[in-house]
Chain A
Amino acid sequence: MAKEYETVIGLEVHVELATETKIFCGCSTAFGDRPNSHTCPICLGMPGTLPVLNRKVLEYAVSVGLAVNCSILRFCRFDRKNYFYPDNPQNYQISQLYLPICRDGYVEIELPGKPKENAGVQEPSSARTKRIGIHEIHMEEDAGKLTHDEESDCTLVDYNRAGVPLIEIVSRPDMSTAQEVIAYLEKLRRIIQYLGASDCKLQEGSMRADVNLSVRERGTEKLGTRTEMKNLCSFRAVTKAIESERARQIALLEAGERVVQETRRWDEGRECSYSMRTKEDASDYRYFPDPDLAPVRISEEYLERIRAKQPEFDWEKRRRYREEYGLPEYDIGIITDSRQMAELFEAVTALGSEPKKVSNWLMGETLRLLKEKGMDPEEIRFSPEHLAKLIALAEHKRITSAVAKEIFEVMFTEDVDPEEYMTEKGLGMVGGQDAMRSAAQKAIRENPRSVQDYLGGKEKAIGYLVGQAMKATGGRADPIGLRSLLQELLQQKVDEA
């Protein structure tokens, strides 16, 4: 009889903080520059240099901790993790082991479940929530990057990343499926992006998730032996790795073998993992409090200041949008997914535009263009005023919807004033009866076949005529007005006949 297994998953999530400068020196954290161009004696670990904590790092760590319901330690310290490897110029990493900045928090994740019967339209009651515990959050420095140069058979070191600030968010082993893991990561990503503490991109490494996974027979209490999976660079990789590791461990147990406690590396191309090191060859890091850094004491006033600066989070916005704007749940979900999008929505709405119209522009054209150009919502350049103006122009039938989209595309890249652009380019709607009439007449004159079809009872044929007439106005006529004018003119033909 086949046994039934359940999976137990905990996550260690590293998030690179969006500070201008490194955690312990004044070097830039800019990404992608010439190797070792953002270094100084401090982040190169030269003798006699001393670190000083970047205040912004502490502020971000505390703000994330508060957002995920952690208690903030009033007295925390940095510890040294000692290991010999060239990616760390001091041969120790400054991290926090004994007294990390945040402890004991949680987040609520939403999971699509079975739809409830008689579920109301407004309530997202088909979703169920689950609480994922957070064991701790600590601050630490990133390491440099090693590259092997085949040509010279040398390993090269780039210390631009050395000293870039990270927080590590350690969850409790509260997850049991890949779906929950993704929901948890999405939740963290949104919170941290809302705080502006990081852009949280798995692909670019500004968010890195290590998956600790074990399996046990359903119904048993005791946790199985876990493995830690590294190098997961996309949500897809996370999902695949969880499935693969679960299967691997179950297969071992079924075959009567043991799971070995080890760190494994996910190979995204081959979709499998291999062992990096086992617990037996794990080194002794000889952690001890870093005597170069003063302990951090956090006052109630400091916490109050951070609390006061916390943004309205997505779950708070969602509740408010439901009540204030009455938007469909789908729209709310998409708009609140990023803080920039939500704030843009609120700003445009505040200028008097109808919420649903704003939402349509954001979910439709804006998302389309973002996707097309491979941009993130943070990179949106057009101003809320201009979108509000564009909506008003379309609303008052001063431009056609086709022209509105055309203008929007220019506005999206250059943030032009839609009204000025319309005037400058002569895109205003052709509203004069004479111009419309002559365009309609031209379409009738030049397309006798379609006229014939229409008159013969094929009502759909009018569509073609509307299109042709529209073309004659340069696309600037009100299509509904044009249609009724054509109908009128054709009716006259019937009457005349």
Chain B
Amino acid sequence: MNPLTLSAVELGRAIREGRTTAVEAMRAVLEQVEEKESSLNCYITLDKEEALERAQEVQKGIEAGRLLGPLAGVPMAVKDNLCTKGIRTTCASRMLGCFVPPYSADAVLGLERAGAVLVGKTNLDEFAMGSTTETSFYGPTHNPWNPDHVPGGSSGGSAAAVAAGECFFALGSDTGGSVRQPAAHCGVVGMKPTYGRVSRYGLVAYASSLDQVGPICRNVEDCAAVLELIAGAVPASDSTYVGSRVGQEQPWTGFPAGEGHRVASGGLSASLKRDVKGMRIGLPGDYLGEGLDGEVRDALLGAAELLREEGAVVEDFELGLAEYAVPAYYTVACAEASSNLERFDGIKYGYRAGNGGGDLHRMYKKTRSEGFGAEVKRRIMLGGFVLSSGYYGAYYLKALKVKAMIKGAFDKAFSRYDCILGPVAPSPAPRLGESLKDPLKMYLGDAYTVSVNLAGLPAVSVPCGTSRTGLPIGLQLIGDCFQERKLLQVAYTYEQCRKIRESAPDSVRREGCGKG
């Protein structure tokens, strides 16, 4: 059998049932890497020998009955801003070109304990700052659908690797859309969980109050399976959700809250239902107006129609405040980034430029000037400015107020809707080099994703069509805090029904895809 035709969950099952092995799966992935890496550049660090050794080790564990989880033996890629013990973690920056962390990110640990096998570390925009994976010190990643186009970003390496079969699923991080947008541009599923759902420990911080680790997968079911292994209570970090809250839906099943280890029960992915009957879905008019590509709008409206036919109530509404999201996001994110990135100074680890003739501050300046790329420097300067004395109130505090108001607007929306349907990006993936010429345009391209991070909400991007030029288009479903189960159910229903319709005769297409 060719493992590459399987999803991650299917592959896991095939390995458990002995139809294939972790090693065979890894070999298949490495063949893809061999064939495509030179044109795509998905990975920054990949050691084939070590990847195979890891697969062999896991295969032994599976055969010994120690690794029973749904993803045991499945090859995965990890964005190179998630720390991996003993494996170089660069953040796509010259600054960390030789940084080997002595610890792994909690999300990576969760997957490794369940038997997922690391292929390598994927490319990204430097320190996750960018929307195209072009600001990487290690060169841009190309879109597997068309190498003249970007894969999106910042988790472009992860999304492209999943789309190109260079892994079965990947981890990304999403601060302003960095999982959802590249997933949309590469035709795969990407999810940003609720802020705090997944531990940020070991994720090199860009903007602490917005960052969240998320899965990038071939389908929604895989996404649920990965989420289950990376979500949960980890006592080591302060901004991870540890239990149910009053007034909230039961947060999770499948593993007990408060335990450091994860029980691989497959609860969430196994319980996915194809059912949206009676669900109320809001379609914000503010997201469909000026700036949105016609093809994307059409694909989105098509998706809305499909969900309606499946029994959901899809309603137009005005979310409000949409035009303030991008400025508020860049203010908050850059402010936090300017402080988070202060630790890269040439003293303790990472890049160091000479010794500045013995002058400490000259050494700092030289190291940071040479170690960081232009986009990172732009954001550090912007962040330093909005936090500086005299401007803090006018910019940073004002942005926090906008953030709170945006959360309020979503709260209001979720009092009426189970989820919100919108675009991920204004257009399909741009051509390489286009965005670097006009950073402001690139920033505005984040308009539909950043408000989700500002409000801390979960959202998932699901493929919903292709453009005339053959590039994928994605839609975004946004849920209320800690409502991942419901959100994934809508995403799953849409994905399944679209698949059935595309392979079914006209009559089925008109009447919906039947009982869930």
Contact = CB atoms under 8 A, between A and B. Distances in A.
A53 B238 contact: yes
Nearest to B364: A84
Contact of A89 (B82, B238, B343): B343
Contact of A288 (B102, B204, B396): B396
Contacts of B360: 86
B92 to A, nearest CB: 13
Contact of B342 (A52, A84, A157): A84
Given A291-B207, A293-B238, A47 B343 contact: yes
B325 interface: no
A288 B339 contact: yes
B236 A47 contact: no
Interface centre among A92, A291, A293 (most CB of B within 10 A): A291
B343 A90 contact: yes
Nearest to B103: A41
Interface of B: 81-83, 89, 91, 96, 99, 101-103, 105, 200-205, 207-209, 235-239, 335-336, 338-339, 342-345, 347-349, 360-361, 364, 384, 387-389, 392, 396
Given A89-B343, A291-B209, A51 B201 contact: no
Contacts of A414: none
24 contacts: A46-B101, A46-B103, A46-B348, A46-B349, A47-B89, A47-B99, A47-B204, A48-B89, A49-B201, A50-B236, A50-B239, A52-B235, A52-B236, A52-B238, A82-B339, A84-B342, A86-B347, A91-B342, A286-B338, A288-B336, A288-B392, A291-B239, A292-B208, A292-B239
Contacts of B236: 50, 52
Contacts of A48: 81-83, 89, 101, 103, 105, 200-205
Contacts of B389: 284, 286
Contacts of A44: 348
Given A48-B83, A52-B237, A53-B238, 7 more contacts: A46-B343, A48-B105, A48-B202, A49-B103, A51-B238, A86-B347, A157-B347
Nearest to A82: B339
A186 B188 CA distance: 67
Contact of B336 (A45, A89, A291, A294): A291
A45 B348 contact: yes
Interface in A147-175: 157
B83 A47 contact: yes
B500 to A, nearest CB: 42
Given A89-B348, A92-B339, A286-B384, A47 B96 contact: yes
B238 A288 contact: no
A82 B388 CA distance: 10
A187 interface: no
Nearest to A53: B238
Closest 5 CB pairs of A and B: A91-B342, A291-B208, A291-B209, A286-B387, A47-B204
A52 B360 CA distance: 31
Contacts of A230: none
Interface centre among B82, B91, B348, B361 (most CB of A within 10 A): B348
Contacts of A103: none
A205 B96 CA distance: 36
Interface in A14-53: 41, 44-53
B229 to A, nearest CB: 19
A89 B346 CA distance: 11
A47 B342 contact: no
A84 B361 contact: yes
Nearest to A157: B347
A418 B326 CA distance: 79
A48 B82 CA distance: 8
B325 to A, nearest CB: 18
A292 B205 contact: yes
Contacts of B348: 44-46, 89
Given A45-B348, A47-B204, A48-B204, A80 B361 contact: no
Interface string A174-186: 0000000000000
Contacts of B384: 286
Interface centre among B82, B236, B338 (most CB of A within 10 A): B236
A46 B345 CA distance: 12
A294 B236 CA distance: 13
Contacts of A91: 342-343, 345
A299 to B, nearest CB: 15
Contacts of A293: 238
B237 A50 contact: yes
A303 B349 CA distance: 43
Contact of A286 (B208, B238, B388): B388
Nearest to B383: A286
A91 B203 CA distance: 19
Nearest to A81: B339
A286 B344 CA distance: 17
Nearest to A83: B342
Contacts of B344: 47
Interface string A275-292: 000000000101110011
A288 B333 CA distance: 13
Nearest to B96: A47
Nearest to A24: B238
A83 to B, nearest CB: 9
B240 to A, nearest CB: 9
Interface centre among A46, A47, A50, A293 (most CB of B within 10 A): A47
Interface in A85-99: 86, 89-92
A388 B253 CA distance: 62
Contacts of B335: 288
Interface centre among B91, B339, B349, B364 (most CB of A within 10 A): B339
Nearest to B205: A48
Interface centre among A49, A80, A293 (most CB of B within 10 A): A49
Contact of B387 (A41, A52, A288): A288
A86 B364 CA distance: 10
A84 B345 contact: yes
B332 to A, nearest CB: 9
A278 B36 CA distance: 60
A92 B345 CA distance: 12
Nearest to A42: B236
Contacts of B105: 48
Contacts of A292: 205, 208, 238-239
Nearest to B390: A284
Contacts of B89: 47-48
A48 B339 CA distance: 13
Nearest to B202: A48
A81 to B, nearest CB: 10
B127 to A, nearest CB: 10
A286 B201 contact: no
A90 B209 CA distance: 17
Nearest to B207: A291
A52 B208 CA distance: 14
A294 B239 contact: yes
Interface in A68-119: 80, 82, 84, 86, 89-92
